[in-house]
Amino acid sequence: MPEGPEIRRVADQLSRAVVNRVAERVTFGQAHLQHREEELSGRRVLSVQPRGKALLTRFEGHLFLYTHNQLYGRWYTCAPERPPRTNRTLRVSIETKSRWALLYSASDIDVLHEDELEEHPFLARLGPDLLDAQTTPARIRKRLLDPRFHGRNLGSLLLDQGFVAGIGNYLRSEILFFSGLTPELRPRDLEEEQRAELARTMRAVIRRSYRTGGVTELAEEARRAKAAGERRRHWRHAVFNRGGHPCRRCGAKVKKLQVASRQLYLCPGCQAG
């Protein structure tokens, strides 16, 4: 499933295509939403913003299109009358005079008034988005000490979108590696400086992934690994997807574990806990 950085890049793509343009026509592939087509058609698109792993496309009149790609959804942008060649099922089309934005395969879609946003079952439980400017390290540290979260192990906590939104499986492994922490540790087990470093790392790793198109490894290490002939699926990360390969820092073999029913990778040398 796409994680926070991938969803924000999709939001950027859609923004370039439709924001500040009038949606001449909006259509839905799901029958229960088709009565909303006329309501949105003819309105200007004001913004496209990620909320964790969901997107909110704002229209004039305090209306929002909520979409969650889940595992299979995918947005395309294209010139008018030139949709992509795909066997996917079209779920949403936002058609302006100059560009179209088309969502295929997703099923979690809704049209909401601004007053309904905080009552939506997915949006209501989201924590702060790690890619938002307002989500500072100080705010993250405060959540780490919140009684709802400070007693939970980091391996499961980092995947909880109610703690912070945007972290998925590859980011979890990379955040723990760059923090030097193991997944069974809890926020309350850490020294204050460790919590501060974890908060800084969470923000730094997700922002690096957003800037680089999914590369979480440090730039110089990634360049060396690429020059040495490593495949992209290996050189783009420090530990994720590198089970059995040597750590680039200490040489220990990266381990692959199952934590919270998901694959997690760690270096037993660098992550001493």
Q: Which of 53, 58, 195, 208 is catalytic?
A: 53
Residue 22: strand pairing partners: 44
| Three-class secondary structure assignment of the chain | CCCHHHHHHHHHHHHHHHCCCECCEEEECCHHHHHHHHHHCCCEEEEEEEECCEEEEEECCCEEEEEECCCCCEEEEECCCCCCCCCCCEEEEEECCCCEEEEECCCEEEEEEHHHHHHCCCHHHCCCECCCCCCCHHHHHHHHCCCCCCCCCHHHHCCCCCCCECCCHHHHHHHHHHHCCCCCCCHHHCCHHHHHHHHHHHHHHHHHHHHHCCCCCCHHHHHHHHHCCCCHHHHCCCCCCCCCCECCCCCCECEEEEECCEEEEECCCCCCC
99 is catalytic: no
How many residues in the chain?
273
91 is catalytic: no
268 is catalytic: no
Residue 173 CB neighbour total at 10 angstroms: 30
43 is catalytic: no
Catalytic residues, by residue number, are 2-3, 53, 262
